[in-house]
Each structure stands twice: as structure tokens, then as C-alpha cells.
Amino acid sequence: MNQLENQNSYDVIIVGGGMVGASLAHALSGHGLSIAVIESYSLNTTSQPSYDDRAIALSYGSKRILDALGLWSKLASSAEAIDKIHVSEQGQFGFARLDHHEEGVEALGYVVTARDLGSVLLPTLTEVDDVSLLCPATLEDFSLQDNKVTANVLIAGKPSTLQAKLLVAADGGQSSVREQLGIKVSESDYGQSAIVSNVSSQQPHNNIAYERFTTTGPVALLPMTENRSALVYTVKNEDQQAVMALSDDEFLQQLQHRFGYRLGKFTRMGKRFVYELKLKQVDEHIRHRVALIGNAAHTVHPVAGQGFNLGIRDVAALAEVIVEADQRQADIGQLSVLSEYENWRKKDHRNVMTATDSMVKLFEHPLAVVKMARNAGILAVDMLPGTRHLISRFAMGLTGKQPKLSRGITLD
Ligand SMILES: Cc1cc2nc3c(=O)[nH]c(=O)nc-3n(C[C@H](O)[C@H](O)[C@H](O)COP(=O)(O)OP(=O)(O)OC[C@H]3O[C@@H](n4cnc5c(N)ncnc54)[C@H](O)[C@@H]3O)c2cc1C
């Protein structure tokens, strides 16, 4: 760990060393800035809840960002490609297919575990001189002055005061930075939980990601290494305990009923973990000397695997704004600089939140006429190449103004 010695002044303090905060530290490193990352958990990725066994579908755009940051080559061996996406609804005959060949890319995306990401993101930060990785360290509170932000931090239990030009909140869905600033969060509870696990099936996944809508919520199966599939199985909150109490065989039978036999019979499953699902959005992403990124700024339903993808696009945009402002000797914590980031990211946030939220609500609707309309919609997507192309670009994270890193260009 790069410990602070007498130094306590930085250009940027990043609160949170989860997937998004650690990615930002990588993006800012090497550009003449001094960076501190404050993370409550120690470096050991087995105890860090952000880096658990959940599978993360990385969009093609996120892979390009990780590649531009020099991280993809370290992650590639644990990643499984998504060549096709298959969308269907239980009890309906229509389905839609997206295919990487149609988009001229090597894959629509890749599946890794959060743990794999952690084992690439964190240790490499200890090897660079311009990042002080402070963990375990917890931000207690902070105050904003005209020319700096002052943060009170407990580093391994000892109080310390740090200063910076900019404080970035990458402290997740329960962001204490957001709370201290009194930034309003709109929250909507889906009344659903996601049960995640790995499953094995008789037939190979052939690098197809399946998204199946059912009356009790969506079921996703994502291709993983060793021919396993990562399962995201949504249930209503009131059913969660009963479903978790099922034996593996009973659970697999229920899954088989909801998913069908496209992968043959499900034969085995790993440990199950539960996450309650909420939509959270903020209407302010910045304040003087503060920027919010990742789950601190938005938490979305995992139905389309977009949360981290949205967060890493925040990283790419914010890093570009900061590095360019610093190069022209502007104050990187000034509102006029941070507004560039906010204006850039608002539309992408809104689009992803609207798309995922509408998808969940549309497929929950019990009315027969709505069912017919969505089946027709799914069929139309399958038949109309222009619509398929738009949806594929969205899934690949390639819509809207692309930051340099998303285009594979480094921030020199
Ligand atoms: C079931 C499920 C499946 C998902 N699947 C996908 C997917 O397929 N694709 C995708 O893109 N996304 C997916 N997501 C979303 C993705 O996991 C999140 O968007 C992502 O983890 C958010 O990362 P983050 O770094 O913003 O927040 P977090 O991971 O919550 O990290 C915040 C960090 O801040 C630290 N922290 C908090 N407060 C303090 C403090 N005061 N001081 C110091 N440190 C602090 C915490 O310890 C933590 O490490 C999924 C989510 C779920 C629940």
C-alpha cells in the first residue's frame, strides 16, 4: 500500500475503492495528478462486498475503456464473450436475437465476476506512485472551502485530515458524501430481489446471453467460463425467503419451469446470494469541489446488466474533463469544469434508467392486451435490422457522445 507519510494534500480524493472508484484512480493515474483513494475495506478482495461473486456483464464499450486503461489484458483470461443475446417471454412464442456479427464486433460484451475485476483493479493501484491507496480508511466528514475540500478520515482507526481540489464520491448506493451534501435521491422500490448463482446445464451456452421475462420478474443467464452460466433470478420480495430455502434440486426445477429447455436440463448450481433491487437517481451530480459517480449517482435494476457499465462511462467522461482542465491549468474542482461532466453524463443516465425501469414495468403488466403488444414488439425487434442495430448499440454502451477512453484513445 502507498501510505501517506507527511503528505496530506492531493489533487483528487476518491471516496470508495469499489469497481467504479478504483477504475477512476486508474484513469487519472499517469497524468501529473496526485490521487488518494479512501476505502473502508482492506485490500483483501475476499472480504470486500463490492468484489463478490456476482457476474458482471461488461458491455463492448466498457471492455474498450478497460483496454485503453491497460487492464483488459489482465482480465481477458477470466472473461467469457457474449456473442449473441436472446430475449424472450415465458408463455409467448416470440423472441428477439442480437448478434455480434451484425455489429461487426468480436463480441457484444463479456462476462467476468466482480471478484475478478477486483483482483485486477486493486493490486495494480499499489504499483503506481501517484495513487495513495488508503485502506482500511473511512471518510468521516468533509467541509468545502472556496479553494479546497478538507476531509476527515479514519485511517486504520486513526484520525487524519486530508485536503484536495476535488472530492469524488464513488461510495456506492448508500453514499455518505451525497447524504452530507443533502443531495436529493429519488428512490423507487421494485419489490423484487435478485438471487444470483452459477448454474451448469446439459447443453453448452454457445456464448449466448439469455434474458427471459416472466410474470414474477426477469431471469438472465449469462455465459461464463467452463461452460457455466451466471444466473440472475428475480423474485418478488415476499417470495424471496421461500425460494432461498429451496434445496438446489427444487430451485433448479423452478428455474427450469421459468426458463424452459433452451440449455437442456440444469444439472448443478453454486451458492445463492440475494440483493434487494431499487432504482435510485439524483438530480445533482456535482457541487463546488464534489462530483458523484457510479452507484452514488445512480442505482439501476440489473435486468440489462447496465449499472457498472454506466459507472465506468462516468469514469471515462470525468477523467477526460479533469485531465483536460488540469492541462489548461484550470481549477479541477470549479463548478464550471465539473458542469462539463454533469452535462455530458445526464442524458446517458436518464436513457439507461428509463430503459431498464420501463422494461421491468412493461413485462410485469398482467393485462392480456399489453402481453400481446410486447410479444409483437419482441417479434418486431427480431425482424427489423434497424431496430436491432439501435438496441445492440445501446447494449454495447456505444450510444451518445463517447469519451476518448470508450473510443480506445488514451488521455495524453
Ligand atoms: C445482482 C446484481 C447484478 C449486477 N449485474 C451487473 C452487470 O451484469 N453489469 C453491470 O454493469 N452492472 C451490474 N450490476 C451493478 C454493479 O454491481 C454496480 O453498478 C457496481 O458494483 C457499482 O460500483 P460502485 O463502485 O459505484 O459502488 P460499490 O461497489 O458499492 O462501491 C462503493 C465502495 O465505497 C466504499 N465506501 C462507502 N462509504 C465509504 C466511506 N465513507 N469511506 C470509505 N469508503 C467507503 C465501500 O466500502 C465500497 O467499496 C449488478 C448489480 C447487482 C446487485
> What are the CA-CA distances from residue 188 to residues 67, 90, 173, 300, 364 (Å)?
35, 26, 13, 10, 15
Q: Determine the average pLDDT of the residues in 71-99.
A: 87
Same structural domain, 326 and 351? yes
Atom of ligand 1 nearest to the CA of 296: 26
Ligand 1 pocket mutation pick from 24, 50, 290 by most atoms within 8 angstroms of CB? 50
DSSP assignments along 44-90, one per residue: -TTT-GGGSS-EEEEEHHHHHHHHHTT-HHHHGGG-EEE-EEEEEET
Determine contact, residues 37/21, Cβ cutoff 8 Å: yes
Is the residue at 310 inside a domain?
yes
Q: Which residues line ligand 1 (CB under 6 A)?
A: 15-21, 38-41, 48, 50, 54, 56-57, 138-139, 170-173, 176, 194, 196, 232, 275, 294-295, 302, 305-309, 311
Residue 89 belongs to a domain: no
Ligand 1 mean position, distance from CA 93 (Å):
36
**CA distances from residue 229 to 21, 102, 132 in whole angstroms, order as listed:** 28, 24, 37
- Residues facing 383 on adjacent strands: none
Q: Which of 124-128, 187-191, 197-201 is the most confident on average? A: 197-201
Q: Whose CA is nearest to atom 28 of ligand 1?
A: 172
Q: Same structural domain for residues 14 and 51?
A: yes
Nearest CA to ligand 1 atom 50: 302
- Choose one of 37, 38, 54, 116 to mutate for the ligand 1 pocket test, by most ligand atoms within 8 angstroms of C-beta: 54
Same domain, 272 and 286: no
Q: Give the Å distance between the CA of 311 and the centre of ligand 1.
A: 9
Position in ligand 1 atom list of the atom nearest CA 38: 43
- 162 belongs to a structural domain: yes
Do 121 and 44 lie in a common domain? Answer: yes
Taking the centre of ligand 1 as the mean of its atom positions, its distance from the CA of residue 114, in whole angstroms, is 9
User: What is the domain range of residue 335?
Assistant: 9-83+109-186+278-362+400-407
In a domain, 29, yes or no: yes
pLDDT band with cut points at 50, 70 and 90 for residue 136 = very high
Domain boundary among 277, 294, 316: 277
- Rounded to two decimals, the pTM is 0.93
DSSP 179-228: HHHT--EEEEEEEEEEEEEEEEESS--TTEEEEEEETTEEEEEEE-GGGE
Q: How many residues does the chain have?
A: 412
Residues 273 and 288 in one domain: no
Ligand 1 atom with least separation from CA of 49: 49
- The CATH number given to whatever domain includes residue 34 is 3.50.50.60
**93: in domain:** no
Residue 3: pLDDT band with limits 50, 70, 90: very low
Smallest CA-to-CA distance from 377 within 208, 190, 213 is with 213
CA-nearest residue for atom 3, ligand 1, is 302
Q: Which of 154-168, 203-217, 305-319, 372-386 shows the lowest per-residue confidence on average (mean pLDDT)?
A: 372-386
Mean pLDDT of 85-113: 86
The reply to whether 248 and 353 lie within a common domain is no
- 259 with 294, same domain: the answer is no
26 and 172 in a single domain? The answer is yes
Clarify whether residues 59 and 132 are in a common domain.
Answer: yes
**pLDDT digit string (tens) for 369-403?**
656 666 666 666 666 777 878 888 888 888 889 99
Atom 9 (ligand 1) nearest CA: 305
Q: Which atom of ligand 1 is nearest to the CA of 173?
A: 30
Q: Which residue has the CA at smallest separation from atom 15 of ligand 1?
A: 307
- By most ligand atoms within 8 Å of CB, the mutation choice from 23, 26, 37, 39 for ligand 1 is 39
pLDDT at 45 over 60: no
Give mean pLDDT, residues 247-268.
95
Please report, for residues 110, 113, 156, 368, the alpha-carbon distance to residue 352 in angstroms, rounded to integers and kept in the order given: 19, 22, 38, 27
pLDDT greater than 50 at residue 2:
no
Number of domains in the chain: 2
Same domain, 174 and 43: yes
Which atom from ligand 1 is nearest to the alpha carbon of 41?
A: 47
- The pLDDT of residue 382 is 65
Which of 277, 293, 311 is the C-terminal boundary of a domain?
Answer: 277
Q: Quote the cell numbers at residue 124.
A: 495494480
- Pick the more confident residue, 216 or 299: 299
Are 124 and 262 in a shared domain?
Answer: no
The answer to whether position 236 is within a domain reads yes
Residue 377 has a pLDDT of: 65
306 occurs within a structural domain: yes
Q: How far is the CA of 31 from the centre of ligand 1 (A)?
A: 26
Least confident range from 1-5, 48-52, 122-126: namely 1-5
Spacing, Cα 14 to ligand 1 middle (Å): 14
Taking only the tens place, the pLDDT of each residue in 319-352 is 999 999 999 999 999 999 999 999 999 999 998 8
- When the pLDDT of each residue in the chain is averaged and rounded to a whole number, the result is 90
Helical segments of 209-306, H only: 240-245, 248-259
Which residue has the CA at smallest separation from atom 45 of ligand 1? 16
What CATH number is associated with residue 270?
3.30.9.10
Contact 131, 315 (CB under 8 A): no
The answer to whether 97 touches 84, Cβ cutoff 8 Å, is yes
> By C-alpha distance, which of 129, 101, 112 is closest to 36?
129
CA of 23, closest atom in ligand 1: 25
**In the predicted model, what is the mean pLDDT of residues 85-106?**
83
Can you give the pLDDT at residue 343? 96
Instruction: Assess whether 121 and 56 both reside in one domain.
Output: yes
CA 367 to CA 361: how far, in whole Å? 12
Phi, psi of 239 (to 5 degrees): -95, -10
Cβ contacts of residue 148 below 8 Å, gap of 6+? 163, 164, 165, 289, 333
